[in-house]
């Protein structure tokens, strides 16, 4: 029987690298191996250095290994075609069109991706490829948990619809019975410890440990056990002579002891390497570290290359401030990027700095794995609360589940006030009970905040890029759905017009560079740069332009005093230049610090270091 291996973890911890390394090792051992990614911002092609895409593709140079990147858009079209095929054969065209429009909502894409993913958990049909091992390289944990919860929730949603209207937001219940059975089988496979393993990748850092603990607990509630850990990014002991790395090695040793105490699971350790993990040769060399007990890879001292390539790009501070400070209108600053690149850190020190310049600032996140409170060093809850220690700063996190409850209650109460029949309200309630409502409700809460006049600046710490784009596309999808509803139904109401105007205002704000700035955070390596560039290009299709880019974890050249640090800095030089070439906007460098960026006593001077200080703000602070 096929063995299933799931890799999960906080964004940026190295899940894809570890999953690809494992896949190559299994294939080299003679096992027919498939690696599949469910991450909307997939990077398998980058790691294997070949085109993969939405089909099972043989990996060149690794006999017995195949890969697939599930494309959410392709998966959605395939899913709709299958669900609607029996309907088209049995019902009039007008009815089919109404059902098809009902399935055009953003939630269909989520379940369609999972539907495609669950195909690999089923026994292969006659004529299909059989694999000895299927490895799933998943999206960052918060969204992975949503994905794994789907079979349970969709099964419940389908069952309720069968007893009511017979309609769900992912299609008619009668047409998706096979899907219901498939989802139930998927859950059973994920719970089967004899054939399924869950491996969490983490780094010796506070947020990574906390996220791993939370995710393991959530999986346990679904009856799914975690079996192994891979602790990645451990600094080599030889770097204790480096003034930058020495305090970080000491910090990591404390977190390694915490992992051993708090997460007593079989654990493998992976050192931080002096270069990227890309290409089959590199993956095999990393496999020797991960599986064979080898402790180091050969290093090369490229001091000459390092000294010859020190990169300097002059960014005019006034260009940066023009994209952060509010003008005649309130400004919303969106921080986006691959998981683990430091979006929360960038959003926090930016919000703290803006507040200290005297601007009334709201900092918020819709990321399911919200870490605002961890970075700020103060509690951040579901209600807007002043940040103690910083005048003019408030913070909140949008809890999707709590937002969904408020959203459902508001819509159903409004329907009753408008005189909808009990039968109509019941149908609406069935559709709102689908799990995709959480995503829509979270953005609805953001729109509430974005529509308020209480703030001069809103700093939005977003989820990792693939999911951020899904969220940003929601208002466009909703506007389309409202148009369809008004056209197709005699029950058009003023409420629809109000909602459409509300969404339209937010769309216009996001497209106006005087009122909003999209900032992409990345560290100077290939994968986060490519992901940010793809997302930036996709935003262009929505008429939203990137305004700033942040290069994070940049090694200060004067502190690169060892061969290891010189090699890493030389690698960064190349990618700093690539960021400059790809993004024709101001670039801000955030240095790697010898300590964690946590707490206002760290965020405040970091903001000043990055943005400077306006004279009037210094006068205000001295007067306080």
Q: 10 Å Cβ neighbour count for 520? A: 30
Tell which of 276, 292, 308 closes a domain.
292
The residue ranking higher by pLDDT, 172 or 213, is: 213
Across the strands, what pairs with 201?
A: 230
Tell which of 244, 276, 292 closes a domain.
292
- The pLDDT of residue 34 is 95
Question: Do residue 465 and residue 593 come from a single domain?
Answer: yes
The residue ranking higher by pLDDT, 300 or 10, is: 10
> How does residue 495 score in pLDDT terms, banded at 50, 70 and 90?
very low
Structural domain contains residue 513? yes
For residue 424, what is the DSSP state?
A: H
| Segment holding 167, helix H or strand E | strand 167-168
| Segment holding 7, helix H or strand E | strand 3-8
Q: CA-to-CA distance for 46 and 452, rounded, in angstroms? A: 42
Structural domain contains residue 166? no
The residue ranking higher by pLDDT, 53 or 143, is: 53
Summarize the confidence of residues 243-271 as an average pLDDT. 95
Contact, 234 vs 271, CB < 8 A? yes
Whether the pLDDT of residue 144 is over 60: the answer is no
The residue ranking higher by pLDDT, 477 or 5, is: 5
Comparing 144-148, 183-187, 446-450, 566-570, the range with the smallest average pLDDT is 144-148
Share of the chain above pLDDT 90, in %: 37
Question: Do residue 321 and residue 281 come from a single domain?
Answer: no
- Please tell me the total count of domains within the chain: 2
Cβ partners under 8 Å of residue 137, min gap 6:
7, 15, 16, 19, 20, 35, 36, 37, 38, 39, 44
The residue ranking higher by pLDDT, 157 or 415, is: 415
Contact, 355 vs 361, CB < 8 A? yes
> How does residue 474 score in pLDDT terms, banded at 50, 70 and 90?
low
| Segment holding 535, helix H or strand E | helix 526-541
Question: Do residue 264 and residue 327 come from a single domain?
Answer: no
SS3 44: helix
Looking at every residue in the chain, the average pLDDT score rounds to 80
- The pLDDT of residue 523 is 92
393-397/361-365 β-pairing: parallel
Q: What are the distances in angstroms from CA 114 to CA 6, 72, 193, 293, 470? A: 14, 9, 21, 36, 15
Structure tokens at 204: 């010796």
Q: 10 Å Cβ neighbour count for 435? A: 22
Q: CA-to-CA distance for 1 and 12, rounded, in angstroms? A: 32
Residues found in the chain? 624
Q: Which of these, 610, 602, 612, 616, lies nearest to 390 by C-alpha position?
A: 602
Share of the chain above pLDDT 70, in %: 74
CATH number, domain of 571, equals 3.40.50.300
Q: CA-to-CA distance for 318 and 608, rounded, in angstroms? A: 14
- The pLDDT of residue 463 is 64
- The pLDDT of residue 149 is 66
Question: Do residue 239 and residue 325 come from a single domain?
Answer: no
Structural domain contains residue 426? no
The pLDDT tens digits of the residues spanning 391-422 come to 999 999 888 778 888 878 887 887 788 787 88
For residue 71, what is the DSSP state?
A: -
Structural domain contains residue 397? no
Residue with tokens 């610090």: 593
- The pLDDT of residue 494 is 46
Q: CA-to-CA distance for 537 and 535, rounded, in angstroms? A: 5
Question: Do residue 604 and residue 476 come from a single domain?
Answer: yes
Summarize the confidence of residues 376-380 as an average pLDDT. 85
> How does residue 48 score in pLDDT terms, banded at 50, 70 and 90?
very high
- The pLDDT of residue 211 is 85
Question: Do residue 268 and residue 146 come from a single domain?
Answer: yes
The pLDDT tens digits of the residues spanning 497-513 come to 555 666 777 778 888 99
- The pLDDT of residue 488 is 35
Q: Which domain does 199 fall in, by range?
A: 3-71+116-160+183-292
Q: What are phi and psi of 259, to 5 degrees?
A: -60, -45
Q: CA-to-CA distance for 178 and 195, rounded, in angstroms? A: 23
Cβ partners under 8 Å of residue 484, min gap 6:
101, 104
Biggest distance spanned by C-alpha atoms of the chain: 78
- The pLDDT of residue 229 is 96
Summarize the confidence of residues 448-456 as an average pLDDT. 84
- The pLDDT of residue 483 is 42
- The pLDDT of residue 33 is 96
Structural domain contains residue 418? no
Q: Which of these, 13, 214, 23, lies nearest to 136 by C-alpha position?
A: 23
For residue 546, what is the DSSP state?
A: E
Structural domain contains residue 593? yes
Whether the pLDDT of residue 383 is over 90: the answer is no
Q: 10 Å Cβ neighbour count for 261? A: 8
Q: What are phi and psi of 525, to 5 degrees?
A: -140, 165
Question: Do residue 561 and residue 526 come from a single domain?
Answer: yes
Q: What are phi and psi of 229, to 5 degrees?
A: -125, 150
Q: What are the distances in angstroms from CA 209 to CA 71, 192, 260, 263? A: 30, 25, 11, 9
> How does residue 139 score in pLDDT terms, banded at 50, 70 and 90?
low
- The pLDDT of residue 517 is 94
Cβ partners under 8 Å of residue 616, min gap 6:
358
Comparing 43-47, 237-241, 474-478, the range with the smallest average pLDDT is 474-478
- The pLDDT of residue 190 is 85
Q: Which of these, 190, 191, 125, 187, lies nearest to 152 by C-alpha position?
A: 187
> How does residue 492 score in pLDDT terms, banded at 50, 70 and 90?
very low
The residue ranking higher by pLDDT, 494 or 162, is: 162
Summarize the confidence of residues 18-30 as an average pLDDT. 96
The beta-carbon contacts of 507-510 under 8 Å, at least 24 apart in sequence, are: 507/475, 507/476, 507/479, 509/332, 509/450, 510/332, 510/334, 510/472, 510/542, 510/544
- The pLDDT of residue 486 is 34
Summarize the confidence of residues 571-597 as an average pLDDT. 92
Whether the pLDDT of residue 603 is over 50: the answer is yes
Q: Which of these, 215, 200, 159, lies nearest to 183 by C-alpha position?
A: 159
**Range picked from 87-96, 175-184, 287-296, 581-590 for highest mean pLDDT:** 581-590
Question: Do residue 23 and residue 155 come from a single domain?
Answer: yes
Question: Do residue 490 and residue 553 come from a single domain?
Answer: yes
> How does residue 346 score in pLDDT terms, banded at 50, 70 and 90?
very high
SS3 395: strand
Structural domain contains residue 440? no
Question: Do residue 187 and residue 330 come from a single domain?
Answer: no
* Range 605-616 burial, b when 16+ CB lie within 10 A, else e: ebbbebbeeeee
Q: What are phi and psi of 459, to 5 degrees?
A: -105, 120
> How does residue 435 score in pLDDT terms, banded at 50, 70 and 90?
low
The residues annotated with a catalytic role in the active site are: 12, 14-17, 39, 527
Structure tokens at 334: 């969106």
Q: What is the pTM of this model?
A: 0.80
Across the strands, what pairs with 65?
A: 33
Q: 10 Å Cβ neighbour count for 564? A: 22
Structural domain contains residue 97? no
Summarize the confidence of residues 353-381 as an average pLDDT. 85
> How does residue 484 score in pLDDT terms, banded at 50, 70 and 90?
very low
Whether the pLDDT of residue 306 is over 60: the answer is no
SS3 145: helix
Tell which of 230, 259, 292 closes a domain.
292
Question: Do residue 193 and residue 256 come from a single domain?
Answer: yes
Summarize the confidence of residues 231-236 as an average pLDDT. 95
> How does residue 99 score in pLDDT terms, banded at 50, 70 and 90?
low
Q: CA-to-CA distance for 553 and 191, rounded, in angstroms? A: 38
Q: Which of these, 609, 528, 577, lies nearest to 313 by C-alpha position?
A: 577
Question: Do residue 224 and residue 357 come from a single domain?
Answer: no
The residue ranking higher by pLDDT, 73 or 309, is: 73
- The pLDDT of residue 311 is 52
């Amino acid at each position: 029987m096929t063995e299933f291996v799931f890799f999960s973890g906080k964004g940026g911890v190295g899940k894809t690298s570890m999953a690809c390394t494992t896949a190559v090792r299994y294939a080299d051992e003679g096992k027919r191996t498939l690696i599949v990614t469910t991450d909307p911002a997939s990077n398998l092609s980058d790691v294997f250095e070949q085109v993969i895409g939405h089909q099972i593709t043989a990996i060149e140079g690794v006999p017995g290994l195949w890969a697939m990147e599930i494309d959410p858009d392709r998966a959605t079209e395939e899913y709709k075609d299958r669900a609607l095929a029996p309907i088209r054969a049995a019902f009039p065209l007008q009815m089919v069109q109404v059902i098809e429009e009902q399935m055009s909502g953003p939630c269909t894409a989520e379940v369609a991706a999972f539907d495609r993913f669950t195909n690999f958990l089923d026994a292969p049909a006659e004529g299909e490829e059989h694999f000895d091992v299927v490895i799933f390289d998943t999206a960052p944990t918060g969204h992975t948990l949503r994905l794994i919860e789907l079979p349970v929730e969709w099964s419940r949603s389908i069952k309720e619809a069968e007893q009511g209207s017979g309609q769900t937001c992912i299609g008619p219940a009668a047409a998706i019975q096979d899907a219901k059975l498939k989802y139930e089988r998927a859950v059973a496979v994920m719970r089967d410890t004899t054939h399924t393993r869950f491996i969490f990748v983490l780094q010796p850092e506070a947020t990574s440990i906390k996220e791993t603990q939370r995710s393991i607990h959530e999986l346990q509630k679904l009856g799914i056990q975690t079996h192994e850990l891979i602790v990645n990014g451990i600094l080599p002991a030889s770097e204790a002579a480096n003034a930058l790395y020495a305090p970080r090695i000491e910090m990591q040793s404390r977190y390694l002891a915490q992992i051993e105490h708090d997460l007593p699971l079989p654990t493998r350790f992976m050192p931080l390497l002096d270069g990227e993990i890309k290409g089959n040769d590199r993956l095999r060399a990393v496999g020797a570290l991960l599986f064979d007990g080898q402790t180091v890879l050969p290093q090369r001292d490229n001091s000459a290359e390092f000294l010859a390539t020190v990169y300097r790009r002059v960014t005019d501070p006034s260009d940066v401030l023009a994209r952060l400070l509010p003008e005649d209108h309130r400004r919303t600053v969106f921080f986006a990027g691959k998981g683990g690149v430091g979006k929360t850190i960038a959003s926090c020190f930016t919000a703290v700095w803006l507040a200290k310049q005297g601007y009334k600032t709201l900092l918020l996140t819709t990321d399911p794995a919200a870490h605002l409170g961890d970075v700020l060093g103060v509690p951040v809850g579901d209600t807007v609360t002043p940040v103690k220690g910083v005048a003019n700063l408030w913070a909140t996190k949008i809890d999707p589940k709590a937002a969904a409850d408020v959203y459902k209650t508001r819509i159903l109460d409004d329907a009753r006030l408008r005189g909808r029949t009990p039968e109509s309200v019941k149908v609406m309630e069935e559709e709102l009970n689908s799990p995709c409502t959480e995503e829509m409700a979270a953005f609805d809460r953001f729109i509430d905040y974005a529509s308020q006049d209480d703030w001069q600046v809103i700093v939005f710490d977003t989820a990792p890029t693939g999911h951020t784009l899904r969220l940003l596309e929601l208002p466009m999808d909703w506007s389309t759905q409202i148009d369809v509803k008004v056209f197709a139904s005699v029950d058009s109401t003023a409420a629809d017009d109000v909602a459409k105007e509300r969404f339209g205002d937010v769309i216009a704000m996001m497209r106006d560079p005087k009122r909003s700035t999209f900032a992409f955070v990345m560290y100077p390596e290939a994968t986060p740069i490519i992901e940010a560039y793809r997302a930036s290009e996709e935003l262009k299709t929505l008429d939203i332009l990137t305004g700033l880019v942040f290069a994070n974890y940049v090694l200060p050249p004067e502190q690169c005093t060892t061969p290891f640090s010189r090699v890493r800095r030389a690698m960064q030089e190349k990618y700093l230049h690539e960021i400059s070439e790809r993004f024709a906007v101001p670039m801000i460098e955030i240095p790697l610090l010898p300590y964690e960026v946590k707490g206002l006593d760290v965020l405040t001077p970091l903001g000043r270091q990055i943005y400077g200080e306006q004279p009037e703000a210094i006068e205000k602070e001295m007067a306080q």
